[in-house]
């Protein structure tokens, strides 16, 4: 399928027969369509900034995924976890905690739930799965609980397929 796509990559979201390519563009499109992009232009810019920060974080931990995907020995995978993932999460959660402490909504932005909140809740889930989150990050853990308690999200989590990451 990739050779037939807009940029030769997946994912693709098809809307009205038109393909939308690139995960960040798809996320922003859906966020705008369903009201999770922010209320003002400034909120939207801040939401996009968080989304970009999260992409930067995922780029940092990418060697861990590469080690798994390419069948590296378990000791290489364990080393990537110890040397890359754990320190990256520590730095990431420290940064996010500061923003959550300043927010009046309990979400990343004062305006309420935005699409980066969904990503943060998922990244927190990865950290829990890998035992990569220190319990001291109470704001991050509370944020995830708040996101996961939203009825539509709670319903999806209960029925979604299990994935390694």
- Under CATH, to which class is 41-158 assigned? mainly alpha
For residue 10, the model assigns a pLDDT of 87
Give pTM, 2 decimals. 0.88
pLDDT tens-place string over residues 156-165 = 999 988 876 5
- pLDDT averaged over every residue in the chain: 93
Show the tokens assigned to 57. Answer: 């974080």
Domain regions of the chain by residue span: 2-34, 41-158
Q: Two tokens at 8? A: 């030769």
Distance, in Å, from the CA atom of 79 to the CA atom of 69, rounded to the nearest integer, reads 15
Q: Is the dihedral of CA 7, 32, 156, 132 positive or negative?
A: positive
Neighbours of 53 (CB within 10 A): 18
């Amino acid at each position: 399928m990739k050779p037939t796509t807009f940029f030769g990559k997946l994912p693709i979201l098809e809307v009205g027969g038109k393909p939308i390519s690139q995960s960040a563009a798809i996320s922003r499109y859906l966020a705008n369509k369903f009201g999770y992009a922010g209320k003002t232009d400034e909120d939207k810019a801040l939401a996009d900034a968080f989304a970009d920060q999260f992409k930067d974080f995922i780029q940092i931990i990418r060697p861990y995924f590469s080690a798994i995907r390419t069948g590296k020995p378990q000791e290489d995978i364990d080393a990537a976890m110890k040397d890359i993932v754990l320190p990256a999460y520590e730095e990431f959660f420290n940064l996010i905690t500061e923003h959550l402490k300043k927010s009046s909504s309990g979400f990343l932005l004062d305006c309420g739930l935005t699409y980066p909140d969904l990503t943060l809740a998922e990244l927190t889930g990865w950290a829990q799965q890998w035992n990569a989150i220190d319990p001291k990050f109470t704001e991050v853990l509370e944020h995830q609980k708040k996101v996961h308690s939203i009825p539509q999200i709670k319903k999806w989590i209960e029925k979604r397929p299990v994935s390694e990451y």
